[in-house]
Structure 1
Amino acid sequence: MTELKYPQQQAHILLVEDDEDDYILTREHLEDLSSLSCQLTWVKSAEDGIQHLLQGKYDVCLLDYQLGGQTGLALLQQAMAASVSTPIIMLTGQPDKQLDLQALEYGAADFLVKSELSETRFARAIRYALSRREYELERISRLRSEEDNRSKDRFLAHLSHEIRTPLSSILGYTELLLETDFAQKSAPELNIILNNGQHLLSLLNDVLDLSKITANKLELRPEVYSFASLIIDVYSLLEVTAADKGVRLSFNALNTLPEQVYLDGTRLKQILINIIHNAIKFTAAGSVTVDIWLQQQKLFFKVTDTGIGIPASNIKDIFSPFMQIEEMVKRKVGGAGLGLSIAAELIQRMQGKIAVASVEGVGSEFTFSVAAGDLSKSKKAKFNFSVPNLNRTPNIEFPRLTGRVLIVDDVAELRKLAGHWVQAVGAKVEFAKDGAAAIAKIKLALQQNNHYQLVLMDLHMPVVDGRDAVLAIRELGYQWPIVALTAATGKGLKQELTGLGFNNLLAKPINKSQLYQLLAAHLSIESKPEPKIKTAQKYLVVEDDIEAAELMQLFLQHEGLTVTLTHTAADCLLTLEQDQSFSTIVLDLGLPDSTGLALAAKIKQQYQHLRLVIVSGSEPNPAELQALGITKVLLKPVTRQNLSKLVNPDTKH
């Protein structure tokens, strides 16, 4: 029978043996082991043995059973009590089953009879002990790593809470000031505060996202999204940044794209914003172009810039966390170096891939894909991602309007965009793709005595253009406003169009604010129904940070609510004892005298009718919330919009 040959292993062995002859025999046995290279340390007493074992530097301990007046079992027990990880092999002069079992029960790795030792038996026992030690060290390392991860998660959750709480006050009060007359002179400075606060919040979110990715705790939440709306949102966020740098930002659709997609829209926007913002950041002049196409159920994006480029030797490192591209060339702009790393991880989780091509001093090109979900029921269209379609102005509040509006334009995307804005103020919208269709619709409406209050008509259309159409419509007896949509703004154009029968003109690309002013001038203000009497709309806010509590009180009072503040769990319970007319409790998780969840449990036991809303600086454990029947969580910083939606969940914000 051929003897198995093992690769030679290194082993540092401690021998606890009071007999010198047995020491010499053991040493010779070890020297005979061809598969092991052993470094042997010999000690004669149990006291020396335990001291050496506690040093933790030995791979195996060979322990004689009989040590003068003591037995090796006593040393074995001491070692196990001290959590010594070194495996111990018990050696004895005579075979004894009971002793064998007792030694194994006390924690010995093996039990060997000196007179029966052979090279194979000795080698097997030591190899087994070495394997056991490796397993034990690996287990200890894993436990320490898990504990380190738990400590890191606790630290990040605490850090998140501590940062989000003051950010709530910074962002919230700044937004309040911007809405006042006082802000007119200080608006630039207030906007700087707001923008930098939001930037700080985005950095915090990046760190937390990276932590979730590292711990494999980041979950995607796919839903049905309007693809055009996602792109518009991204453009709206980045167009100001690009314009401030003098960089031209443009989006192009290379083929027909789905109107609806099934994916995590929030994460897709995060990917696009990270990559496009990075391109803008490192482009001093020129352009950033985003090409989009659909291929085999996947959406592809190519972001091309004319920026500083990336050195070829560094391209492989740009997706590493905390890697900052500017350090590869010249440090000019800030950032934590997390954006591209997070984007790459999200792309992978969305079943896509990312590739980079770059020439230093010329520019870079990032191409990536994401799965778009089941597109079998989604209509495809050739989107015109031009400035008219993507242009957005800040939200301005207008009164709700009533009436019917006809939008006439041959470009479907522009009809849809203008229709979305008109519907946003409450008016009803119908569409016509050219002048002939508009004439037919208006003729039918007049016959049914149900005319349009306003017509928005493009000038340049196939079949019948806007000029011919307005003449025909006026001949039908239509007397209500018709507004021309035109990209031309030449001298005398308004006079020409008025002579044809238009009441006004609206320049392309359409400015949302100008459109809303036009609608307000020609449509009726919607009569408000009698306000519903809110019953028991009293809120109790439990928040130990006084500024954050007062800010939430201001926001909720803007919604017409009565709000009481408490800052501890004890004050909360005392307030509830004295006044049981509250409908909702907004409860911070971090309180000085109790955890928020412990307080929530007490409230649920005594006041089952109350709705509990959790406010937290980090995402709470869903299982703990579910056990308490809590379904609503507000993540700090809490905004006015968050609280408005909490009070009026059916209102669109």
Structure 2
Amino acid sequence: MQGTAVCQSASCACAAADQLLLADTNFGAMSAPGDLLICLACAIVGGSLAFFLWRRPDAPFRPLLMLFSAFFFACGLKHLAHAASTWNAAEFTASDGIAEAVWWCAHHAVALLALITALGLLWTLRRAVDSIESLRKENFIRQAAEKEAESQRRFSQNVLDSLSDHVAVVNSAGEIVLLNETWRRFAKENQEATCVGHNFVQQLADNDSIAAKNAAAGVWESLRTHQGAQQVEYAMDYGDQRRWFLLNASPLGVGAGAVISRVEISERKRTEETLTEYVVVVENSRREAESANLAKSRFLANMSHELRTPMTAVIGVADLMLREEKDPQRRDMLKMIRENGNRLTDLLNDILDISKIEANRFEIKPKSYSPGAVAAEVVSLMERSASDKGVSLQLVYETPVPCAATFDPLRVRQVLANLVGNAVKFTEEGVVVISVAVEGETLLYTVSDTGPGISLEEQAMLFEPFTQSEHTRSQNPTGAGLGLAICSAITEMMNGRIWVESELGAGSRFCFAFHAGPLDDSRWQDSPSMDDCTPLCEPDTLAEATSSFDYRILVAEDVPATQFLLKQLLQLAGAQVTVAEDGEQVLELVEQSPADYDVILMDMQMPRLDGFDATRRLRDTGCTTPIIALTASVMASERQQCLRVGCNDFLGKPFDQQDLFDKISDLMESREAAAEAGSA
């Protein structure tokens, strides 16, 4: 545009000079020097424009400037011709027609160039006006877009400022382009170098915290791949305080950066650390408790073993003496020894049961069994002790009872025997009634007595371990208070419940109910039957019951008292008995004469070679003689181990003499039946 202005000024000057020269009608020689100067000026201006255009090929309005350059050269040529013609005016006007023709041509050429230049100038001005209008419109649109962008920026900023979390927008280089007020205020209060233009991602990468470096790596990944939001936790130190943040980075698109938001989670992290420490403490406490529980179980098992071994001799010898003793007073004393030995055994069983319950090692094994038979067996078991006190023991069915249901008869018998035993113990006179009822697939057993009753305050504590009511302790101080706690635990394991209904002076009703499905609907009983019950035998009738017990039995036992008891008991029954003190002697005796023994009674805890290894080695040699394991341990794991090594059956100490004879007889009958089947 500046070149155009220069050209216009020069054109005006040339036009003025032409008018002055044309006004001089005399074409005097005085104007010749001026024409030469004007020619020189036009040549300089035209040459300058030409040089400018040569050096600046990209100059605006290049065609117009080229016309101006040609115009100036033409003007200079005109004035040169005019100077030549006016140098000798008289000569020119009188005789030289050639000079006049040159002048005319130059004059009209200059006029034509001037016209062309003027038209080009008008065309250029029109384009310039159009260009200016276009630029004005573009400028208007740009300003409107800038206003809209600014409005959007202010709107976005206001939205960000309204958020309670720290929010920022970063570009693809990680530099902050928008930052909300919450983050700005936090940065100001905590001297955090976070502001617009600051490279926040690089700040994270330069932090010493591994978590912060991981956060930076996650944001860089979002900026690089433009997809996949990143969520990471990281910590930063502010003075002597470490603060934790949860950072989210969401990419905005290719090259558009990402939105970063973070929320402080320091309180949550402290809570998590506290909970972690608490969990560690609880876990350590649990392990210590389990270790203590295991140690207690081992201690109880060992003590049980050590106590059961002498109790076997005490109770067994008392039974043997009762067979021979005729004096009533001595018989009463022997019965006292036997009963207290049995009571001590029951206490040991209760302590072990509580230990197994606490260690979650108590097992419930449902099978098909008669609900009425369980109750009848308990009546048979407790009838003698009830009659000794003058208490009547009755069994009734409140509803028809199926002949078979699915439950654990051993555990139900244990609960029912405990309840009946308590009822007999605390009933001085009257009756104890055992009732059985069925509701759907639920079995309900009830034990009612005419005893002293229990107050409401004491009923709430009855099923706690080692707990007895004040009235109970005053009336009958025996017992450790474990029986009802065991009953409650067993009932709960069977998905049932147990409860008591009682009042002082009016007796008590203990009830327990549990699911026992499926029931056998093929046959029901309306009243109890004692046909399936085995009555208890008095010690002095055992010899008669086993008079044909002529088996050859090898007893492996290291305790002299137990050796004596088994030898006397079996010999009185008619058996031939050989005693071995350890497993090595058992192997020697069987190796010498394997056909001399019908049954082996194997104590599992013996010196030199214990019963487990002895049984295993006997089976390895091909010995098929039935072996009954005798052990003071009542743990289920040891029973299973006995069967695994090759024992045919298991009998715990102290053992019931009738159980011993029954197991031996059953094994021998099974063996004889198998032999007959093989020979046939």
What interval of TM-score do these two structures reach, taking the shorter chain for normalisation? Answer: 0.5 to 0.7
Structure 2 residue corresponding to 1:197, chosen from 332, 341, 359: 341
Residue 372 to residue 594, structure 1, CA distance change in 2 (3 Å): same
Distance 1:617 1:646 in 2: 17
| Pairing 1:174–2:322 present | no
> How many angstroms apart in 1 are the aligned matches of 2:479 and 2:553?
40
* 1:183/1:542 CA distance change after superposition, 3 Å: farther
**Displacement of 1:341:** 1.7
Q: Is the 8 A contact 1:174 1:194 kept in 2?
A: yes
Whole-Å separation in 2 of the counterparts to 1:306 and 1:222:
33
TM-score, normalised via structure 1 length: 0.56
Tell me the distance in 2 between the aligned counterparts of 1:368 and 1:629. Answer: 39
Deviation at 1:539, TM superposition (A): 3.8
Q: 1:267 touches 1:346 (CA, 8 Å); kept in 2?
A: yes
Contact 2:404 2:520 in 1 (8 A): no
**Aligned partner of 1:586: which letter?**
L
Partner Cα distance (2:553, 2:395) in 1: 46
CA distance in 2, matches of 1:331, 1:397: 35
Report the CA distance between 1:319 and its aligned residue.
0.7
CA positional deviation for 1:573: 4.6
Is the deviation greater in 171-180 or in 252-261?
252-261
Aligned to 1:540, the other structure's residue is in SS state: strand
- Residues 381-436 of structure 1 show CA distances to partners (whole Å, capped at 9, x for unaligned) of 321689x9999785696999xxxxxxxxxxxxxxxxxxxxxxx99xxxxxxxxxxx
Q: 1:275 to 1:119 in 2, by over 3 A?
A: same
Could you tell me whether the CA contact under 8 Å between 2:397 and 2:435 is conserved in 1? yes
Shift of 1:163: 1.6
> Of residues 441, 447, 450 in structure 2, which corresponds to 1:297?
441
Counterpart in 1 of 2:177? none
Specify the alignment match of 1:95 in structure 2: 208
Any idea what the Cα deviations from partners look like across 1:602-630, whole Å, max 9, x if unmatched?
44444554544321111343553454233
Question: 1 CA distance for matches of 2:555 and 2:298?
Answer: 25
Pairwise mapping of residues 601-616 of structure 1 onto structure 2 (< 5 A)?
Answer: 601-606=616-621, 608-616=623-631
CA distance in 2, matches of 1:224, 1:208: 27
Match for 1:310: what amino acid?
I
Higher helix share: 2
SS of 1:300's equivalent in the other structure is: strand
Task: Say which of 232, 243, 249 aligns to 1:119.
Answer: 243
Q: Residue type matched to 1:206 in 2? A: D
Number of the residue aligned with 1:256? 400
Q: Is the 8 A contact 2:373 2:532 kept in 1?
A: no
The reply on whether 1:567 has 2:581 as its aligned counterpart is yes
Separation in 2, partners of 1:574, 1:193: 38
Alignment partner, residue 507 of structure 2: 363
Counterparts of 1:568 and 1:385, CA distance in 2: 46
Change (3 A) 1:602 1:249: closer
Q: How far, CA to CA, are the matches of 2:398 and 2:461 in structure 1?
A: 30
Which letter does structure 1 place at the counterpart of 2:316?
G
More deviation, 593-602/340-349: 593-602
Give 1:112 shift: 7.3
Structure 1 stretch 325-334 or stretch 630-639: which is displaced more? Answer: 325-334
Mapped to 2, the partners of 1:249 and 1:563 lie a distance apart of 41
Moved more, 215-224 or 317-326: 215-224
The alignment partner of 1:354 has SS state of: strand
**Letter matched to residue 628 of structure 1:** V
Query: Structure 1 or 2: larger strand share?
Result: 1
2:616 touches 2:646 (CA, 8 Å); kept in 1?
no
- Closer/same/farther in 2, CA of residues 636 and 378 from structure 1, 3 Å limit: farther
The answer to whether the aligner puts 1:212 opposite 2:356 as a matched pair is: yes
C-alpha distance in 1 between matches for 2:667 and 2:645:
24
Structure-2 change in CA distance of 1:2 and 1:162 (3 Å)? farther
Partner of 1:486: none
Provide the aligned C-alpha RMSD in A.
Answer: 4.4
Q: Which amino acid is the alignment partner of residue 120 of structure 1? A: W
Q: Does 1:590 align with 2:605?
A: yes
Deviates more, 1:593-602 or 1:635-644: 593-602
Matches within 5 A, 1:413-562: 538-558=552-572, 560-562=574-576
Query: How do 1:270-419 residues align onto structure 2 when only pairs under 5 Å count?
Result: 270-326=414-470, 330-383=474-527
Q: Which runs of 5+ in 2 are unaligned?
A: 1-162, 167-189, 191-205, 215-232, 246-265, 670-680
CA distance in 2, matches of 1:344, 1:622: 25
1:624 corresponds to 2:641? yes
Indicate yes or no: 2:277 matched with 1:133.
yes
| d(CA) in 2 for partners of 1:294, 1:193 | 41
CA distance in structure 1 between the aligned counterparts of 2:340 and 2:616, rounded to whole angstroms = 38
Match of 1:234 among 362, 378, 382: 378
Paired residues, number: 429
Find the aligned partners of 1:606 and 1:204 in 2 and give their Cα distance: 38
Going from structure 1 to structure 2, the CA distance change for 1:343 and 1:599 (only over 3 Å counts) comes to same
Partner deviation per Cα, 1:266-302 (whole Å, 9 max, x = no partner): 3223222222222232333443333432221223233
CA distance in 1, matches of 2:502, 2:658: 41
Letter in 2 for 1:592: P
Could you tell me how far apart the structure 2 residues matched to 1:225 and 1:550 are? 38
What TM-score does the superposition give when structure 2 sets the normalisation length? 0.54
Distance change in 2, residues 1:645/1:246 (3 Å): closer
Render the CA deviation track for 1:8-51: whole Å, top value 9, x for unaligned. Answer: xxxxxxxxxxxxxxxxxxxxxxxx9xxxxxxxxxxxxxxxxxxx
Matching residue's letter, 2:432: V
Q: Do 2:582 and 2:610's aligned partners in 1 also have CA atoms closer than 8 Å?
A: no
Distance in structure 2 (CA, Å) of the matches to 1:393 and 1:113: 81
CA distance in 2, matches of 1:230, 1:581: 40
| Structure 1 residues 612 and 312: CA distance shift in structure 2, 3 A | same
| 2:663 is equivalent to residue 646 of structure 1 | yes
- What amino acid maps onto 2:503 in structure 1? V
String of CA shifts for 1:447-478, please: whole Å, max 9, x gaps.
xxxxxxxxxxxxxxxxxxxxxxxxxxxxxxxx
Matched residue, 2:297: 153
Runs of 5+ unmatched residues, structure 1: 5-31, 33-92, 102-109, 401-423, 426-527
Deviation larger for 207-216 or 595-604: 595-604
Structure with the bigger RCO (C-alpha within 8 Å, sep 6+) is 1
Structure 1 residues 176, 135: CA separation in 2 closer, same or farther (over 3 Å shift)?
same
Query: Which whole-Å CA distance do the structure 2 matches of 1:582 and 1:146 have between them?
Result: 49
* Aligned mates of 1:595, 1:392 — CA distance in 2: 36
> 2 CA distance for matches of 1:372 and 1:343?
17
Superposed CA deviations along residues 183-208 of structure 1, whole A, max 9, x for unmatched, are: 67733222222222222222222222
8 Å contact from structure 1 (residues 589, 614) kept in 2: yes
State the percentage of identical aligned residues.
Answer: 28
Cα distance, 1:165 vs structure 2: 0.9
Q: Which moved more, 1:550-559 or 1:266-275?
A: 550-559
Distance 1:566 1:3, change over 3 A: farther
Shift of 1:545: 1.0
Q: Quickly say closer, same or farther: Cα 1:329–1:616, change in 2 above 3 A.
A: closer
Contact 1:307 1:364 in 2 (8 A): yes
SS in 2 for 1:317: coil
Residue type of the alignment partner of 1:136: V
Partner of 1:268: 412
- Does the residue aligned with 1:355 lie in a helix, a strand or coil? strand
Q: Following the alignment from structure 1 to structure 2, what is the Cα–Cα distance between the partners of residues 349 and 334?
A: 27
Q: 3-state SS of the aligned residue for 1:221?
A: coil
CA distance in 1: counterparts of 2:495 and 2:653, whole angstroms: 31
